[in-house]
Structure 1
Amino acid sequence: MSKRRSKTFLTDWIRRHMPTREQMAENKYLQPIAHRFLTPELWRFTRRSVPRGVALGIFAGFIIPVGQIFLAAFMSLPARANVPLSALVTFITNPLTFPFWAVVANKLGVFILKVDLAATGGAAQDEMTSGRWSWFVNLFEGVGVTVLVTIFGFVVLAIVGASIGYVLASIGWRIIVARKRKRRLRAMERRLEERLSKDGEA
């Protein structure tokens, strides 16, 4: 993990837990394209790369049950997102939290399908049974209705969660930057006051 220190607790926590460039470069699954996503540009914390990294990490964490880190890293390339942050955020789903999110996804899927039935007479369900999505349905042939509803809920969580994560990360980044600027201004003011007081004494 990175040993660099910052002036914010959040940044320090992220640096302690996010994977390092060396760790990702040594991963056998990522080695073929390691030279692409290990470029310094994809490891900088900027107002654009941070929200994108959070959004992609949440999306990857919910959309597939395994290999989320690799998916997040791959998606970070074209999106120019922060690679280590996107990899870290995928841990929103892990063996400890997955049962909780599975329940949430199931309840969310049931709720949305009920709303669809009440608002549109089941337009979404009619679309799924129209035959145009048979290829998708066949992927889960033999799977129970509960599992299908849960998968649908996870897809919704991935899309909605990524959107919310992007917005919250953007707001959080602005707050962090604003606080840093205030601290710098205060430090400059103190140094200026000290210099003026010394000049006055002289």
Structure 2
Amino acid sequence: MARGGPVARATGWARRHVPTRDSIEANRFLRPVSHRILAPSLWRFTRRSVPRGVALGLFTGILFPLAHMPLAALTALPVRANVPVAVGTTLLHNPLTTVPLFWSAYEIGHWVLRLDRDVPGAPIASNVAANASWLHWLVSHGGPATIVGLVILAIGLSVAGYGVTSLVWRLRIARKWRARAHRGGATRTI
């Protein structure tokens, strides 16, 4: 029987499996770029790096369904985004959210491309109905709409994530300043 609750077990697992700074510096494959990976600015939680990390994580998590965590970590380096936040935000795309995300992407892409409207020549919808195979539908209708929708969702959610994170960060700092000013004013009156 394991000791402690689920939080204690998860913390213990993370301590055993998450690489340390020394192990990253000692890794022969990472040694040439370890100075860049271990730059302190990439691991600090600042008002600039956290929103960048959120936006980058949302973008890579939505647009690249496979290997989005390593991709987010690698792309965080040149844009100076917070690496843990970028990697953690990619978890928006998980097995529970994949179906609603792809369905939303298809609907948005379908609306943007207006695939069911008449185009010069034969309409796309009648071509799909005439060639009623699933693969033909996927190539001519479903695939392009989903890809366009994923790009729009990735860009839109990244911009929204950046804005919301910046706003929350600003409100949190403002609250701290007000509390500090209130405490300072209370000690002066005594």
1:66 has 2:66 as partner: yes
1:63 is matched by which residue type in structure 2? L
Q: Which whole-Å deviations, capped at 9, do the CAs of 1:14-71 have from their partners, x for residues lacking one?
A: xx9xx89x8255799x946454223221111212111111110110111111111111
Decide whether the 8 Å contact of 1:24 with 1:34 is kept in 2.
Answer: no
Q: Write out aligned runs for 1:84-95 (5 A).
A: 84-95=84-95
- Give the structure 2 partner of residue 158 of structure 1: 154
- Give the structure 2 partner of residue 109 of structure 1: 109
Alpha-carbon RMSD: 3.2
TM-score, normalised by the number of residues in structure 2: 0.69
Decide whether the 8 Å contact of 1:58 with 1:162 is kept in 2.
Answer: yes
Rounded to whole Å, the distance in 2 between the matches of 1:166 and 1:149 is 26
Structure 2: gaps (5+ residues): 1-10, 121-135
Rounded to whole Å, the distance in 2 between the matches of 1:79 and 1:24 is 23
Q: 2:164 aligns with which of 137, 158, 168?
A: 168
**1:87 match: secondary structure:** helix
2:110 is matched by which residue type in structure 1? V
Rounded to whole Å, the distance in 2 between the matches of 1:181 and 1:68 is 37
Structure 1: gaps (5+ residues): 1-15, 123-140, 198-202
- Give the structure 2 partner of residue 4 of structure 1: none
Q: 1:181 aligns with which of 161, 177, 183?
A: 177
Report the CA distance shift for 1:24/1:154 in structure 2 as closer, same or farther (over 3 A): farther
Decide whether the 8 Å contact of 1:37 with 1:73 is kept in 2.
Answer: no
**2:155 match: secondary structure:** helix
- How many Å apart are 1:92 and its aligned residue? 1.0
Q: 1:23 aligns with which of 5, 10, 18?
A: 18
- Give the structure 2 partner of residue 11 of structure 1: none
Report the CA distance shift for 1:177/1:92 in structure 2 as closer, same or farther (over 3 A): same
- How many Å apart are 1:188 and its aligned residue? 1.6
Rounded to whole Å, the distance in 1 between the matches of 2:161 and 2:78 is 19
Q: Which whole-Å deviations, capped at 9, do the CAs of 1:56-110 have from their partners, x for residues lacking one?
A: 0110111111111111111111111111111111111101111110110010110
Rounded to whole Å, the distance in 2 between the matches of 1:87 and 1:49 is 13
- Give the structure 2 partner of residue 127 of structure 1: none
